[in-house]
């Protein structure tokens, strides 16, 4: 039941200076940071990370997304906690910011819609990535972090929130 999951503060989150606020949302919920780094990924790595997107949405949206994720550096974080994959997605909010509820990261800090983005050929700037399933989390953590970049330690949350 204790899981690990990957989040990325995407380039819009980093450039808007929201990294601290975003990370705080997860820390406040008692999720533990077990790995963190900044990286500026290239096209090849972006296509590996988003390997399912072409099949799900088509080439045009994949290209748009790859351009978005390599607009600037991202902050990659591995979070650990009880049902971390599902809980992190809940704190993240829905994919399309106009549909994301207030109280979620995407709902509080963004508002663009899928229709507007696709009509204007803009990115769906939704600030963060979060692994969607346990399988995706395992694959993504492996892609982004080596074993030696992940850490085991105790937090007060293990006494009070888990």
Kindly tell me which of 15 and 95 has the beta carbon lying closer to ligand IDP.
95
- Min dist CB 129 to ligand IDP, Å, is 5
Helices (H), 19-144: 19-28, 43-49, 53-57, 59-69, 84-92, 105-109, 114-119, 134-144
- Min dist CB 2 to Mg ion, Å, is 22
126 touches 95 (CB < 8 A): yes
- Rule CB under 6 A: say whether 45 interacts with ligand IDP: no
| Residue of 126, 137, 140, 145 that binds ligand IDP (CB under 6 A) | 126
Instruction: Give the closest residue to 110 by CA, choosing from 22, 6, 7.
Output: 22
Contacts for 61 with CB less than 8 Å, ≥ 6 apart: 53, 118
- Min dist CB 38 to ligand IDP, Å, is 19
3 state SS of 35:
strand
Which 61-80 residues touch Mg ion, going by CB under 5 A?
Answer: none
| Residue of 95, 113, 133, 161 that binds ligand IDP (CB under 6 A) | 95
Tally the residues of the chain. Answer: 162
**By CB under 5 A, how many residues form the interface with Mg ion?**
1
> Which residues are near ligand IDP by CB under 6 A?
53, 57, 61, 64-65, 95, 114, 117-118, 124, 126, 129, 132
Positions marked catalytic: 129
């Amino acid at each position: 039941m204790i899981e690990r999951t990957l989040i990325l503060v995407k380039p819009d989150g980093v450039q808007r200076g929201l990294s601290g606020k975003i990370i705080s949302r997860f820390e406040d919920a008692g999720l533990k940071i077990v790995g963190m780094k900044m990286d500026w990924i290239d096209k090849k790595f972006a296509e590996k990370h988003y390997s399912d997107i072409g099949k799900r949405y088509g080439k045009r949206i994949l290209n748009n997304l790859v351009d978005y994720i390599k607009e600037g550096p991202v902050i990659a974080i591995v979070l650990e906690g009880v049902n971390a994959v599902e809980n992190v997605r809940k704190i993240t909010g829905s994919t399309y910011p106009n549909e994301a509820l207030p109280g979620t990261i995407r709902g509080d800090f963004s508002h663009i819609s899928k229709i507007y983005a696709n009509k204007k050929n803009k990115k769906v700037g939704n600030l963060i990535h979060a692994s969607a399933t346990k399988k995706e989390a395992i694959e993504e953590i492996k892609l982004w972090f080596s074993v030696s970049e992940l850490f085991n330690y105790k937090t007060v949350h293990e006494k009070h929130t888990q």
